[in-house]
Amino acid sequence: MNLAELKSVCGACGIRELCLPAGLSDEEVHLLDQHVAHRQSVRKGDYLYRMGDPFRSLFAVSHGFFKTVLVHEDGRGQVTGFQMMGELLGLEAIHSERQVCDAIALEDSAVCTISFEQFEELGHLMGNLQHRFNQDLSREIAREHSLMMLLGTMRSEERLSVFLLDLARRHERRHQSGDAFVLRMTREDIGSYLGIKLETVSRLLSRLHDEGVLDVHGRHIRILDRQALAHRGQDSA
Amino acid sequence: MNLAELKSVCGACGIRELCLPAGLSDEEVHLLDQHVAHRQSVRKGDYLYRMGDPFRSLFAVSHGFFKTVLVHEDGRGQVTGFQMMGELLGLEAIHSERQVCDAIALEDSAVCTISFEQFEELGHLMGNLQHRFNQDLSREIAREHSLMMLLGTMRSEERLSVFLLDLARRHERRHQSGDAFVLRMTREDIGSYLGIKLETVSRLLSRLHDEGVLDVHGRHIRILDRQALAHRGQDSA
DNA sequence: CGATTGGTTGAGCCCATTCAACGAATGTGG
DNA sequence: CCACATTCGTTGAATGGGCTCAACCAATCG
């Protein structure tokens, strides 16, 4: 992890409304900036944190892309999420004194580091901030409920379709094309996240490509027929 | 839903240290009691809330047993959790104005109803309460990460074993036997939660019974060999 | 340049599903 | 109180979706 500290710039940040300060006043954002956050870069492949590390801070993805991985005793790993700019990392560790999973940068990235101790104090002063944070935590719980539905009830083709449409939606919220984007993770990462094997991911992408639903060139994806993608697997074959 | 309001009794509650007030002073618990919570009974089979209901309150299970179910547009349902006494319901709805899943009582139960608006105000006054609540939310996120691992990587026999051992652990925390207990949910509920079919659940229970790991009589379970149960599925056959 | 990592595709297999029949327990209405 | 319907659970036989094992190719890297 290469720690290049940069100036704190929540106030001037282009994704401010997608991130922790969403809905805060300029004054409140200034407080957050001054006392809580600073920026730090993370190189592709580096660990932002590892399971067992002491938990002290939350992280907001400033730019780049991360995955979080839960590693079982026996070595099996489960990708529990992918984080894009504006999304928070470390929420799952608040209840503990230690990190409970690994966070790994999938491309050169930067995060805003937020001392959790100071953050709680600030939340105490600013009901607004605390309210937003409760919502962030709750949204993460609801997101994982959806993922449980995916893992518990869906066929592999539907899992992949839901995954791609979710990525598309998140890109669009960030004013990037939802129809054409680059996958930052490997087929194995996707498979782990979706509870299927990497070979199955590869086969499904090939099939959707052959059927004209997607354009797939390695990690470059173009969604050609959203309707078709949205209906994959859930009812008909 | 049969709303019989009872006296609020956090202060005298036997499971206080398992519940929301864990770690609070008597004074703080008194505040919670007075201004925030009241008790309400829910009959077996009744809905505590349904998806789409306005979200106003959190609930703590006072006694009894609940399940939460996420219902997809097409009618498929996914059981996202089972809640025993001391555990919170409604956390996944805070980010929204509406409930995002159903909560159903699996036996005659009672819950403490906590106005979330008032709870947030109280959290603002009591940093301690807010801190604990952040931890509760985070713990729920971490719990769901583990469930993702279960759904994403484990064989059916291991899923069931992990489920039973988790139930055992939770019973023990409540000073009930972890070796002998009664399942409050159907085979179908278990299967939905674990991402397998009810017939598979039934077959697995029968097999573990035949092999002397469990004693199964309908919903009455006795764990005979924890070691064996803990090692099922994960490595050897 | 060989070594490594990531991706694609094929063939055969197996675990869990599907479909089905049946029994037990519970509840309901006449 | 009995006849009947419904819910819940068990077990069997056949099927199939995704896995395993394997070969191969492309890109990247030291």
pLDDT in tens, B207-232: 999 999 999 999 999 999 999 999 98
The tokens describing B160, both together, are: 């069931």
CB contact under 8 A, B152 and A94: no
Query: Where does A10-150 sit in CATH, by number?
Result: 2.60.120.10
- Calpha distance A53→A82 (Å, rounded): 20
pLDDT tens digits for range B20-43: 999 888 888 888 888 777 889 999
Digit-coded pLDDT (tens) for A200-219: 999 999 999 999 999 999 99
CA of A155 to C1' of D17 (A): 9
Does the CB of B156 sit below 7 A from strand D?
no
Q: Are B130 and A124 in contact (CB under 8 A)?
A: yes
For residues A139 and A86, is the Cβ–Cβ distance under 8 A? no
Q: What are the residue ranges spanned by the domains of chain B? A: 10-150, 154-231
Report the interhelical angle of A187-194 vs A198-210 (nearest 10°). Answer: 100
Task: Give the residue among A216, A212, A205 at the shortest CA–CA distance from A228.
Answer: A212
Give the pair of three-digit tokens for residue B151. 């759904």
CA distance A58 to A49: 11
Q: Residue A232 carries which side chain, given as an amino acid letter?
A: R
Q: Cα–Cα distance between B186 and B198 in angstroms, integer?
A: 9
DSSP string, B45-88: T-EEE-TTSBP-EEEEEEES-EEEEEE-TTS-EEEEEEE-TT-E
Residue in the structure block whose two tokens are 């940093």: B127
Amino acid B94: pLDDT: 98
Nearest-Cα distance to chain A for B178, in Å, is: 23
- Sheet (strand B180-182) strand order: B180-182, B220-223, B214-217
Greatest Cα-to-Cα distance within chain A, rounded to the nearest angstrom: 57
Q: What is the pLDDT at residue B7? A: 52
Tokens of B18: 């398992």
Subunit contact B234:A123, Cβ cutoff 8 A: no
pLDDT digits (tens, 9 = 90+) for A97-132: 999 999 999 999 999 999 999 999 999 989 899 999
Rounded CA-CA distance B72/B80 in Å is 12
- Residue A171 has which token pair? 């890109």
Searching chain B, which residue's CA lies closest to the CA of residue A152? Answer: B195
Taking the Cβ of residue B234 and every Cβ of chain A, the question of whether any pair is shorter than 8 Å is answered with yes
With an 8 Å Cβ cutoff, are B78 and A145 in contact? yes
pLDDT of amino acid B33: 85
Question: CB of A234 within 8 Å of any CB in chain B?
Answer: yes
**Contacts A163 to B, Cβ<8 Å:** none
Does domain B154-231 fall under CATH 1.10.10.10? My reply is yes
Higher pLDDT, B233 or A95: A95
From first to last of its 237 residues, chain A has per-residue pLDDT tens of 444 444 557 888 888 889 999 988 888 888 888 877 788 999 999 999 999 999 999 999 999 999 999 999 888 999 999 999 999 999 999 999 999 999 999 999 999 999 999 999 999 989 899 999 999 999 999 999 999 999 999 999 999 999 999 999 999 999 999 999 999 999 999 999 999 999 999 999 999 999 999 999 999 999 999 999 999 866 543
Helices and strands per DSSP (H, E), number in chain A: 7, 11
Tell the CATH topology of A155-231.
Answer: Arc Repressor Mutant, subunit A (1.10.10)
pLDDT value of residue B234: 67
Question: Does the pTM exceed 0.75?
Answer: yes
**Closest nt to B155 (CA→C1')?**
C15
Give the C-alpha separation, A92 to A89, whole Å: 8
Among B99, B106, B46, residue whose Cα is nearest residue B81? B106
Interface test with A, best of B82, B126, B136, B137 (most A CBs within 10 A): B137
By the CB < 8 Å criterion, does B19 face chain A?
no
Rounded mean pLDDT of chain B?
92
